[in-house]
Amino acid sequence: MRDSNYTLAKARIHKKVFDFVIFSNLFIACCAVLMVRFTKDIFHLPVSYAFMGFVFFSTLASYSVHWYLTDTKTETTAGRTVWLSSNKRLHFSFFVISAIGSIVFLFLEISNFKWILPSVFLTLMYSAPKIPLPFFQNLKQHVWGKTFLLAAMWAYITSALPLLTEHVPWQLEHWLYLTNRFTLIFAICILFDIRDKDHDKNIGIKSIVTLLKANYVKTIFTIAVLLSVATALLLYPYFSGFWMPLILIVPAFLTYFLYDSAISTANDYLFYFILDGLMALSPILYFLLKFI
């Protein structure tokens, strides 16, 4: 009986730690850094720790304020909302700390401010409708393309910005890579929006999921996955070995096969760990293969 109680207590501690990492947005911030590092490495770019620090803290800040402003009475999830209700102060504290970190590292990267500014704009456009002021609330009626906006924000920050800040002359392989990353993230964002469809409709948010019929949404999702696979294959001549296109294709296939599960469940771990983690799966596979 004692061993059983000990095992149960240990499992509860592990779950609390896991929930903290996922729901506090530390996981998604680490994913962003890993994706940036991946871009830097495959294109043989120098690693700027000031830039990496900015990406980590700005991601943590944007997600912390986004969830802090989430109304737990109207926007519910399978488990995260309960965690959020008990940890509002934590989100606010993380926002303050990460906002300070973002400003510090932004000053260290001030020479690249013109390239960083669009990422700030995209982030504000996505989270602004949650600000409880009439002007920002009205944006819900006018901001179209929520799905596209979020995917564009992630693709720009993790795939385009590392190239732009190093003043890389853009070639075909860079456009193929950016398209590959965008289409994968876009497909993942569609699954999130399908889950949030009823809530988004009720508050007037416009996205392809709220505006189009389900069969059209599935078609767009499939096209996005196919484009991700196609661009991965087209990148083959630019990298030595077949494994590079392969690690880009794996998350696209997994995203496609998770479609039925994602539209039939609200399980937070599927969305905030598995689907969010799929964005960083290629970098994980890349660094595993590189250091094995």
Question: For the segment 66-97, what is each residue's pLDDT rounded down to a tens digit?
Answer: 888 877 676 667 678 888 888 889 989 999 99
Q: Sorting pLDDT into bands at 50, 70 and 90, what band is 4?
A: low
The average pLDDT across 119-133 equals 68
Of the candidates 41, 58, 220, the one whose C-alpha atom is nearest the C-alpha of residue 147 is 220
Question: For the segment 137-192, what is each residue's pLDDT rounded down to a tens digit?
Answer: 555 554 556 788 889 999 999 999 999 999 999 999 999 999 999 999 999 999 99
CATH class of 2-291: mainly alpha
pLDDT-above-70 percentage for the chain: 88
* pLDDT for the residue numbered 184: 98
Tell me: pLDDT of 278 over 80. Answer: yes
Checking phi first, is residue 145 left (phi over 0); if not, alpha (psi -120 to 50) or beta?
left
Q: Sorting pLDDT into bands at 50, 70 and 90, what band is 39?
A: very high
Alpha helices in the chain (DSSP H): 2-23, 26-42, 49-68, 80-86, 88-108, 113-127, 134-142, 146-155, 161-164, 172-195, 197-203, 208-211, 214-234, 243-257, 259-264, 268-269, 276-279, 281-291
* pLDDT for the residue numbered 199: 73
Structure tokens at 150: 């979020």
